[in-house]
């Protein structure tokens, strides 16, 4: 008959290099190492709904900094915030951002006379305009095409959520990388 000898986890050989490695990893990932401040990406406030521009340079997100909800844009290459005057107005909420390829255009939800509308911000002109003024139903989840010509969103005009495609027209200034050519659809 075989004799059974119980072994406890403390009696097993310990790989000390693994223990020290994990300990140093935990210590190095402390919250004190996260840059926090008015010019850093991270803050002590709620930040949500992040989106990247098509070229990966710009990040737009909704933040609760300064005690109110606001839409912010951050340049990942230069590591600083981009001014967007006109997006965050008093007593309105900006949310659900979407960026064109180079981040020139920002489509987002805001409120107009107490109802949600889709707005479009042009960073070149620093102006925002409502692109859904005639929609009487609810709208949500706007998204802009990489070139900035089309804006899609969901609407509840018919009593259910449907998809709408808004063509801003062929005469708008497209958001394309420098030197790229624009081809016409066949």
| Class at the top of the CATH hierarchy for domain 47-167 | mainly beta
DSSP assignment of 166-180: EE--TTSPP---TTP
Q: What is the pLDDT of residues 15-57, one digit of tens each?
A: 555 555 555 544 444 333 434 455 677 788 888 999 999 999 9
β-strand partners of 140: 154
- 38-66 burial string, b = 16+ CB within 10 Å, else e? eeebebeeeeeeebebbeebbbbbbbeee
Q: What is the pLDDT of residues 19-30, one digit of tens each?
A: 555 555 444 443
The pTM assigned to this predicted structure is 0.74
CA distance 13 to 9: 9
Q: What is the pLDDT of residues 62-113, one digit of tens each?
A: 998 877 889 999 999 999 999 999 898 877 889 999 999 999 999 999 987 7
Q: Where are the domains of the chain?
A: 47-167
């Amino acid at each position: 008959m075989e004799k059974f000898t119980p072994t406890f986890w403390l009696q097993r050989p310990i790989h000390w290099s693994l223990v020290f490695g994990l300990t140093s990893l935990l210590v190095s990932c402390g919250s004190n190492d996260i840059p926090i401040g008015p010019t850093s990406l991270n803050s002590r406030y709620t930040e949500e709904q992040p989106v990247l521009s098509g070229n990966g340079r710009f990040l737009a997100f909704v933040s609760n900094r300064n005690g109110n909800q606001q839409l912010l844009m951050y340049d990942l290459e230069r590591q600083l915030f981009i001014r967007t005057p006109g997006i965050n107005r008093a007593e309105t909420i900006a949310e659900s951002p979407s960026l064109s390829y180079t981040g020139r255009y920002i489509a987002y939800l805001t409120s107009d006379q107490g109802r949600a509308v889709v707005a479009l911000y042009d960073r070149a002109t620093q102006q925002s305009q409502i692109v859904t003024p005639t929609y009487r139903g609810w709208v949500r989840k706007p998204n802009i095409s990489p070139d900035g010509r089309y804006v899609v969103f969901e609407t509840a005009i018919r009593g259910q959520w449907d998809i709408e495609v808004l063509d801003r027209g062929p005469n708008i200034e497209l958001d394309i990388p420098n030197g790229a050519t624009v081809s016409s659809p066949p």
